[in-house]
Amino acid sequence: MQAPTKHYTKQAQNIDARRRHYILAFVSYITSAIMFVYGVKNINAEQILLPVILFGTGLAFLLNILLFHLSRNLERACIAEAVLVGSFVLSLVYQGGFNNTALYWVFPFPAILFGLLGVRNALLSNALMLVALCIMLFMPELILAQYKDAEASRFIASLLIVIAVCWINEHYRERSHQAMDLLQQSKEIQANTDSLTGLANRRFIDSSLLPSLAQQPSQFFPLALIMCDIDHFKQLNDRFGHDAGDEVLKVVATLFHSNLRQNDIASRTGGEEFLLILPHTSRVDAFLVAEKIRRQFEHSRMLANNPEYKVSASFGVAVCDSADSFQDAVKLADQQMYLSKRNGRNQVN
């Protein structure tokens, strides 16, 4: 995590999960309530199959939402709900419904499948349901209900239109959300990234890292901090110009990237000051990392036009075990770095 590119899609994922949760709840509670009402109205019907379908599906919807509340597994609950929806549609069309009105009740369910499963899975599920309905309607000897040929063909044509419209709507809704998410990510990354070096900046530490430390401590602690300050940077700028200073800062950022792990964070917190954040690292190991980087400063040619000019840096190391002690550890690392400065620079403390 050397740049602040993590966790920026989490909010969008949470919003989409809530959307699917609401659809799941609507189908489970509202649709099952409607089924119970019609089940009661048809409880004395000649064909007992209709109230069985209505009561059975309604109870299955309620059982599924109950299991979801117990397990909190939204993906599994949505898949189960989609299977129940498909089973209900096929069962109702097979039986015919009250006064042969089953076909009218099919049209809301393609949209429900898209809401529960997403574009790709819903398109496949609707296609399978459409094939099954075609077989049932155009091979009438397989079902109990009796539908006219014209009624069946017009129903299939209308259902195709509904599925196509739902697919177009969901497809471009997802595309729109992806575009907005990428735009938001770009804005967040720009706000949290140092424009010169591409490293995280102080805002990233305050707005993203600190909340993560508090919310997910097991992913970070024990946490080692390395404060790094380039030695005699003002003299370098005065001698070679600010463009040369910028060149050095970029090389230093590249040096950090090549010496840190994927989950480590390199940030620029001041003009020539950097803070390296190393999750699950002891002070001894952090000291070794700082020493390795310090030696690479000595052997790196950081000025292309003046390769003989040597750039060094001073380092301070500290560790913390909780989010509450992070700022104190930063201050300690800073103090250790200034101790390196006072003791002659180009060293680790």
Give the active site residues: 272
Rounded Cα gap, residues 135 and 71, in angstroms: 37
Distance CA(67)–CA(75), nearest Å, equals 12
- 34: its two tokens: 């409607």
Tokens of 144: 């109990």
Backbone angles phi, psi at 3, to 5 degrees: -135, 155
- Listed as own residue / partner, the contacts of 200-208 with beta carbons closer than 8 Å and 24 or more positions apart are 200/2, 200/3, 200/4, 200/265, 200/266, 200/267, 200/268, 201/267, 201/268, 201/269, 202/267, 202/269, 204/4, 204/267, 205/267, 205/269, 205/275, 205/277, 208/4, 208/7
Specify the amino acid at residue 193: T
